[in-house]
Structure formats: structure tokens, C-alpha cells
Amino acid sequence: MDRDDVGKLYEAHYMRVFSYCMTLSGDRMLSEEITQETFFRAFVKREKYRGESSEITWLCTIARNIFIDEKRRRGRADSLEDIPGEIEDISAGLEKTVEDRDSSYRIHMALRELEEPYREVFELRVFGELSFSDIGHKMHRTESWARVTYHRARLKLQERMGIQ
């Protein structure tokens, strides 16, 4: 991966990585810092990327590790068990709701309250845009488990949001 590839990587995945960081931290400034640090580390360690996972999976893994380090640095290591793992389809009703800024915030808060593993699987699928196969692999489960868990998470979110 050369410098041009890293620039293309940044352009292609910046918003997805930033969205994932926002989901992790809920803090815009911290998310921006983590996102920038993620791409910096990706650039510095670009030769170590073996292509065994998708680029977005690689970037979200870097972002997650930076977030964990930041939590530890700030002395909040006791809440690390609340951190979701690394990170396509949201139902039409949910997509319409996301367009509205107020509703987007409500969805974000509902997602933060969603219990594990539903939250993690949903984030991996929506923000990380991972396939069900990749999600199953990351979580040491089957592809079918990932599909069912994602579907249940989506239903739980829709129910909490009052979306049919």
C-alpha cells in the first residue's frame, strides 16, 4: 500500500470510521481525534496490512484499539466491558427516520442502550459494513448466528424507536 492508496483509503472510509468512533465514544471531538489517529497509524503501518480482512475492518480495529487506549489513559478502564467490537441494510422505515436530525440522535441513544451482542453486531454490520460472514468470524460464531443476531437487533431498535 503506497501513499496514494492511503489517500484513497482516507477518502473512501473517513465517514464510516468517524461514525464508528462516534458510536464508541459519543463525543464528537474525541471521535475526530481517534479518526485522525486511526488514519495516521494506518499510514505508518501500511506495510503490515496483509489484506486478510477488508480495509474498513482493519481501520475499525485500529480505531477500537485507540479508543481503548484512550479510555485507559483517562482512567476509565472499569467501563471497558461496555466497548463494542470492531464494526448494511437498515429497514426503509429506519432509514427515513435517520434523515431527521432529532430522530438520528434518538437512534444513536437507543443504540447505546442496546444490550450486547446485539449492539456490537448491529454496529459491525451498519457502521463497519461487514458481511455476516466477517461478523461471525470476528465474534467466533457462525454466519447464521450473525444474521439472526443482526435481525433481532434491528427489530429491537425499531421497537424502541416506534418504527413499524
Domain boundaries, the chain: 3-82, 92-161
The pLDDT tens digits of the residues spanning 31-72 come to 889 989 988 888 887 777 777 778 888 888 889 889 988 888
8 Å CB contact between 138 and 109: no
* Residue among 94, 99, 92 nearest 156 (CA): 94
* pLDDT given for residue 93 in this prediction: 46
- φ, ψ dihedrals at 2, nearest 5°: -100, 180
pTM of this prediction? 0.48
> What is the arithmetic mean of pLDDT over 84-106?
49
Q: What is the spatial distance between Cα 67 and Cα 61, in angstroms, rounded to a whole number?
A: 10
CATH of domain 92-161: 1.10.10.10
13: pLDDT confidence band, cut at 50, 70 and 90? confident
Question: Domain 3-82 maps to which CATH number in 3.30.40, 1.10.260, 1.10.1740, 1.10.3470?
Answer: 1.10.1740
From residue 50, how far is each of 1, 57, 65, 120 by CA, in Å? 10, 12, 18, 24
Tell me if 3-82 shares its fold with 92-161.
Answer: no
